[in-house]
Structure 1
Amino acid sequence: MYDVVIVGAGPVGLFLACELGLAGCSVLVLEREPDSRSPFKGRPLGMRGLSAASAESFHRRGMLHQLRTASGGTDEPGADPAAHLQPSLRGVGHFAGMRLDPAQLDAAALPYRLPGQAMDGMPTYLEAVETLLSEQASRLGVEIRCGVTVSALTQNEESAIAHAGGHEYAGRWVVGCDGGRSTVRGLAGFAFVGTEPQFTGYTMQATATGAEKLRFGINPTPTGMYLQIVEGHIAMVDFDGGAFDRSQQLTRDHLQAVLRRVSGTDVTLSEVHLASSFTDRAMQTTTYRRGRVLLAGDAAHIHSPLGGQGLNTGIGDAMNLGWKLAATVHGHAPDGLLDTYTRERHPIGAKVLDWSRAQVTVMRPDPHSQAIQGVVRDLIGTRDGSTYVFERLSGASIRYDLGSEHPLVGRSAPDFCLEDGTRLSDLMRDGRGVALDFSADRCLRDSAKGRDSRMRYAAGPAEDDLGLGAVLVRPDGVVAWAGERTPDREAFEQAADQWFGGPES
């Protein structure tokens, strides 16, 4: 029996598998498709945008440089980290097709932001992400089996079993990372609630006559929206109530008619090479756990791809769940630790769904929505408005309610740099929590070292300690406790007990 069986070998399932493998769990990943390669995962149809929060997760596990290289970008090891402090255009994004102006962003207003190598989001594509994570998972001893379709799921007090093709795959836990049409979600009886779609969206790779009439970038129009990133890669949004999605074959004539209507041009599609459809249906499970079955990524929440939040929310789920599930497997999780997964991540998913709904409402081709769009456009054009939207898109606004009034607790930790050049991100590559002690308090050191298998201790002055004496950082990079110049040992102990359990015997 495996410690964890993950259903779905997409980016979320593979990232979770890496987190669990890093923690020494035995992990089996089951993937329905016999071959993970697909033209929809490569360039250009598989292009995605990683938020700053997601880039930070890859960086904390030592994979960001490889991902940037595989995605066709550059990542100079000797580059000045301060160059990343001001967000660049690639990491800015848009709201309902209205792109932000990076010159309007107030970097100083972003909470607890320190220079580092993962300050920006980055463009990538699914094939690059999955290849990198698959290789990392294999190095960590994760077993991946393709061409396995799960058809039934059973569980008891000690295990959960995925049934597929006459075989049983037993794990102490099963996690569904199998996408928006999750089989695991249905078999385990998760309630899936939300709102029905307003539009059918299309993405295609096509050869067109008159393509010069289509503008590049994101283009809201009075009848919908179209997007062209590279020549021949076109995405469209048609407000038909989602009626066409997967209900009929995507013919050249239909795609051409939609493109002409949405773009207001007479462009002609001479050949469609690849095409698929999607909607803005926004649904979420009411909980992310039922017994010994958990969900992550699109299996737990679906919405439109506007703003590129789907992949990023899923990576956040995996980062949050991985260390908690591993601690539970190894038997040193504090009481209720695994329940904090739903408590912390469900509100984040709900906010993403509302963010998607708000964009759809603004984009609707009716006078009322167009009037709202004008107001939103004016607000986004201001410094405060641009910074607010960027905080939402980048993940900088995410803060879990951990019961502390300290403004840093519950947020992603800044990438503190000690005077010897060691960065917090360097200390997190083994997946353990970190106690950073800028005051070099012996009591904090002794408390931290009593949990050596779960926590690393590092001491010394920092280049910029933000006025703090010490911070306790969870394995997912979230600040669990922050102390002032003279740290409170008792408060530190309480936080360590809450998230890591008591000292080792």
Structure 2
Amino acid sequence: MGDVVIVGAGPTGLWLAGELRLGGATVTVLEARAERDPNSKALTIHPRTIEILDTRGVVEPFLAEGVRIPDGHFGGLPDRMDFAALDTPYPYTLALPQARTEELLEARARQLGATIRRGCRVTGLAGHGVVLESGEVVAARYVAGCDGVRSTVRAAAGIAFPGTGATTWGWLGDVVLDAPPEGGVATIAGPRGGLMVVPLGAGVSRLVGADPSTARPQWPGELTLDELRATVRRIAGTDFGMRDPIWLSRFGNATRQAATYRRGRVLLAGDAAHQHFPTGGVGMNVGIQDAHNLGWKLAAVLTGRAGDALLDTYHEERHPVGAALLAHTRAQTALMTAYTPEGQALRALLSGLITTAPDMSRQLAERLSGLDVTYPTGRRVGNLSFPDGTTLFQRLRGGRHVETEVGLVRPDGHLAHPPGGGARIAGQPAE
């Protein structure tokens, strides 16, 4: 019997696999798809996630390949938050297709010794492990559901997923543009709707937005190129010469959160634990941060360095983060879909405050970037420098606690007081 079966080989599951192997646990990742999805739902890697990559020594390819964007938007407002005010070595987001992010994370997980099996659809839970569509039982001491908003693991474990259904729909199109906007990038918003244009490389651009025509709970149907072209023309006055669609998709603002992130030997992370409108590009980042919190704890329990009670702190720390995520994505959705004259006035007012109220802009940027997360047991610690020339992020690369002048720092970069709210990890330095 293995230590952990992870269901889902997206960014959350792959990062969790690497963290578990770093901590000494055995891991099998099961993915229903036979091949990696070439269409990238996520493009944005936020500053806190870049820090996490640095604490494990794998940040360089992301920095080399990602496009650095020194600011960010809140709810599609035209005035953007300046990330230079953030207390981080990485005051920017990276634009990198999710498919490439997954490729890099999978390479890390495999290098650390994780087993990854594709074409394995999980249909339910067994007494110890999971059952595949083929009838095979993959046994493990713990099961981690990283299998998205329609999580089979969550449903099989009987974990409720309360929230609200969709009331409005956004759209996305990866297309070729014969007449792209100047610089390839555009943000346009008004009473007819809002859209953003972002180049993806190889002559392809992403158009993403929302408009009043689909502000209703009913599913509008599959998006077509003709519909996308007509919608973009209404909003922008041009369709930018779009043709040759690679991927057309819709997404709703259904907002839900798992009632618990842990039920016995079943744990949830990423989209299996929280669903929301993809405003600000935060979903993948919060999923990776879930996995970063869970990985060292579960590995410590499995290898006998901590008691089972440490796993309860995963829900205690990350569930409030998920609740805050849902609150601020709902707020952003309200701003993005404020098509009435009153809504447009509100957008203009708040947008102006981003440039004239620096404290407000900084707080919004900290929330969006993930740098504001604080746990009851301790706050995030920045990249401290040591007399020998090393930094905290470098010292965290072994996945163990690090003693510093400010206190004991957990493997996930937060202060321990002590770790696990009282659960001491065997072999860790004393505070």
- State the AA in 1 paired with 2:276: H
Distance 1:376 1:207 in 2: 34
Residue 234 of structure 2 aligns to a residue whose secondary structure is helix
The offset of 1:228, in angstroms, is 0.5
Give the superposition deviation at 1:428: 0.9
Q: Which has the larger radius of gyration?
A: 1
Aligned to 1:29: 29
In 2, Cα distance between the equivalents of 1:180 and 1:423? 37
Q: 2:58 aligns with which of 51, 60, 63?
A: 63
2:329 is matched with which residue? 356
2:411 corresponds to 1:411: no
**Whole-Å Cα distance in 2 between the matches of residues 315 and 495 of structure 1?**
20
Match of 1:426 in 2: 394
Q: 1:285 and 1:496 mapped to 2: Cα distance?
A: 21
Task: Report how far residue 102 of structure 1 moved.
Answer: 5.8
Q: Which amino acid aligns with 1:7?
A: V
The whole-number CA distance in structure 2 between the counterparts of 1:257 and 1:412 is 46
Q: Which residue of 1 aligns with 2:135?
A: 166
Distance 1:47 1:196, change over 3 A: closer
Any conservation in 2 of the 1:213–1:267 contact (CA below 8 Å)? no
Map Cα deviations across residues 356-377 of structure 1 (whole Å, 9 max, x no partner): 1101112221233223212211
Q: Indicate if the aligned counterparts of 2:131 and 2:137 stay in contact, CA closer than 8 A.
A: yes
Q: Please report how far the alpha carbon of residue 242 of structure 1 lies from its aligned counterpart in structure 2 after TM superposition.
A: 5.2
1:93 matched residue in structure 2:
72
Question: How many Å separate the matches in 1 of 2:237 and 2:44?
Answer: 28
* TM-aligned CA deviation for residue 90 of structure 1: 1.4
Alignment match, 1:308? 281
Query: Could you tell me which residue of structure 1 aligns to residue 318 of structure 2?
Result: 345
State the distance in 2 between where 1:119 and 1:266 align: 33
Determine the C-alpha separation between the residues in 1 that align with 2:179 and 2:84. Answer: 40
Match of 1:17 in 2: 17
Query: Residue in 2 aligned with 1:377?
Result: 351
Q: Report the counterpart of residue 362 of structure 2 in structure 1.
A: 387
Tell me, yes or no, if structure 1 residue 200 matches structure 2 residue 162.
Answer: no
After superposition, give the CA deviation of every residue in 1:317-346 in whole Å (9 maximum; x if it has no partner). 000000111111122324621011111101
Residue pair 2:44, 2:95 contacting (<8 A) in 1 also: yes
CA contact (8 A) 1:160 1:292 kept: no
Aligned residue number for residue 412 of structure 2: 476
Are 1:129 and 2:98 an aligned pair? no
Pairing of 1:451-462 with structure 2 (within 5 A): none
Counterpart check, 1:400 vs 2:375: yes
Does 1:185 pair with 2:185? no
1:213 Cα deviation after fit:
9.7
> SS in structure 2 opposite 1:371?
helix
What secondary structure is seen at the aligned counterpart in 2 of 1:480? coil
Which runs of 5 or more structure 1 residues have no equivalent in the other structure? Answer: 74-88, 403-409, 437-468, 482-493
The CA distance in 1 between the partners of 2:181 and 2:421, in whole Å, is 62
Matching residue of 1:457: none
Shift of residue 131 of structure 1? 1.2
Is the contact between residue 173 and residue 249 of structure 2 (CA under 8 Å) also seen in structure 1? yes
| 1:441-472 deviation digits (Å, cap 9, x = unpaired) | xxxxxxxxxxxxxxxxxxxxxxxxxxxx4410
Tell me the alpha carbon deviations over residues 272-322 of structure 1, each in whole angstroms, 9 at most, x when there is no partner. Answer: 332111112111111111221111000110111111110110011000000
1:334·1:497 contact (CA, 8 Å) conserved in 2? no
Letter in 2 for 1:216: V
Work out whether 1:277 is the aligned partner of 2:250. yes
Partner of 2:43: 48
Q: Distance in 2 between matches of 1:47 and 1:395?
A: 16
TM-aligned CA deviation for residue 120 of structure 1: 3.7
Q: Which residue of 2 aligns with 1:6?
A: 6
Give SS of 1:151's match.
strand
Structure 2 residue identity aligned to 1:366: T
Q: Secondary structure at the match of 2:422?
A: helix
What is the rounded CA distance, in whole Å, between the counterparts of 2:42 and 2:268 in structure 1? 24
- Give 1:217 deviation, angstroms: 2.5
2:57 and 2:16 mapped to 1: Cα distance? Answer: 15
2 CA distance for matches of 1:163 and 1:271? 37
Q: Deviations over 1:471-493 (max 9, x none)?
A: 10011111114xxxxxxxxxxxx
The one-letter code of the counterpart of 2:370 is G
**Using the alignment, how far apart are the partners of 1:100 and 1:279 within structure 2?**
25
Cα shift at 1:130 = 1.1
Which amino acid counterpart does residue 215 of structure 2 have in structure 1?
A: G
Structure 1: distance between partners of 2:151 and 2:373 = 26
- What's the RMSD between the two structures over aligned residues? 2.6
Q: In 2, Cα distance between the equivalents of 1:179 and 1:13?
A: 10
Q: Given residue 166 of structure 2, which amino acid in structure 1 is its aligned partner?
A: P
Q: Indicate the SS of the match to 1:219.
A: strand
Distance in structure 1 (CA, Å) of the matches to 2:181 and 2:381: 46
Q: Which one of the candidate residues 121, 128, 137 is aligned to 1:149?
A: 121
- Work out the number of aligned pairs and report it: 421
Task: Name the CA shift for 1:196/1:91 in 2 (closer, same or farther; >3 Å).
Answer: farther
**Among 104, 112, 137, the residue aligned to 1:140:** 112
* Equivalent-residue separation in structure 1 for 2:206 and 2:185 (angstroms): 10
| Structure 2 residues not aligned, in runs of 5+ | none
| Cα distance in 2 between the residues matched to 1:213 and 1:2 | 54
- Hey, what's the Cα distance between the residues in 1 that align with 2:157 and 2:421? 32
TM-score after normalising by structure 1: 0.77
- Bigger shift: 196-205 or 58-67? 196-205
| 1:51–1:394 contact (8 Å) kept in structure 2 | yes
Q: Structure 2 counterpart of 1:473, which letter?
A: V
